[in-house]
Amino acid sequence: MDKIKLAIVYYSMSGTNYQMAKWAAESAEANGAEVRILKVTELAPESVINENPIWKAHVDDTKDVKIADSEDLDWADAIIFSAPTRFGNLPSQMKQFIDLQGGLWFEGKLMNKVVSAMSSAQNPHGGQESTVRSLYTSMMHWGAIVVTPGYTDDSIFKAGGNPYGTTVTVDQDGNMIEDVKDAVFHQTKRTIEVAHWMKKGKITDEVINEDSEVIGVLGDGS
């Protein structure tokens, strides 16, 4: 079977979600997937970014990362989103990217995409769960197949126990508090596995339909 094509779409201000995206890519490649790491367009004014040394450094460090577009989503069998929480919701940068996919949605090209999500915040109850779940709400409108980690691996508990998607708390210096690398690896592997099941099922359905058409033609001529 062809490799699963995974798009990892992230937004990151200080580098946390970029690191999680890179871990997801590492896991996906280890599990035989073809991967694209993609950032969404930054909307904050350059003057604001320049006032924050950590933010500016991250923008400079990731200037060569490709900006995600609709073609990347059309290409992908599976998508992992990673973005920090903003007042318990998605950051505007990620929300705009999702809002711009109306054309693909209208054409039915987002149906049955296998999707999963990760997030971060500066305190344990900063809205990580609601951020992940708000993204899943949009995915339900797409008709996507939402894959959560649940409690399917010990790494989930080590990372803080979020069944909706891997999330991490970040201290004032930008350091991750929980140990989430293994949870990201597991969530990605699980996403790839489900995408394989979906792809195998789709191919099987196509073969069955083709066989049915052949049988129908033979039946008509007998």
**pLDDT at res. 141:** 97
Residue 5: Cβ within 10 Å count: 18
pTM of the model: 0.90
**pLDDT at res. 105:** 97
- pLDDT tops 50 at residue 111: yes
- pLDDT tops 80 at residue 107: yes
pLDDT in tens, 30-68: 999 999 999 999 999 999 999 999 999 999 999 999 999
**pLDDT at res. 213:** 54
pLDDT grade for 1, boundaries at 50, 70 and 90: low
pLDDT grade for 174, boundaries at 50, 70 and 90: confident
Q: How many residues does the chain have?
A: 222
- pLDDT tops 80 at residue 216: no
pLDDT in tens, 79-91: 999 999 999 999 9
- Could you tell me which CATH number the domain at 5-221 has? 3.40.50.360
pLDDT grade for 214, boundaries at 50, 70 and 90: very low
Task: Render the chain in DSSP notation, one character per residue.
Answer: -PPPEEEEEE--SSSHHHHHHHHHHHHHHHTT-EEEEEEPPP-S-HHHHHT-HHHHHHHHHTTTSPBP-HHHHHH-SEEEEEEE-BTTB--HHHHHHHHTTHHHHHTTTTTT-EEEEEEEESSTTSSHHHHHHHHHHHHHHHT-EE---TT-SHHHHHTT--SSS-EEEB-TTS-B-S--HHHHHHHHHHHHHHHHHHHHHHHHHHHHHHHHHHHHHHHHH-
Residue 208: Cβ within 10 Å count: 10
pLDDT grade for 166, boundaries at 50, 70 and 90: very high
**pLDDT at res. 54:** 92
pLDDT grade for 222, boundaries at 50, 70 and 90: very low
Q: Which residue has the higher pLDDT, 173 or 62?
A: 62
**pLDDT at res. 168:** 96
Please provide the average confidence, as pLDDT, over all residues in the chain.
Answer: 92
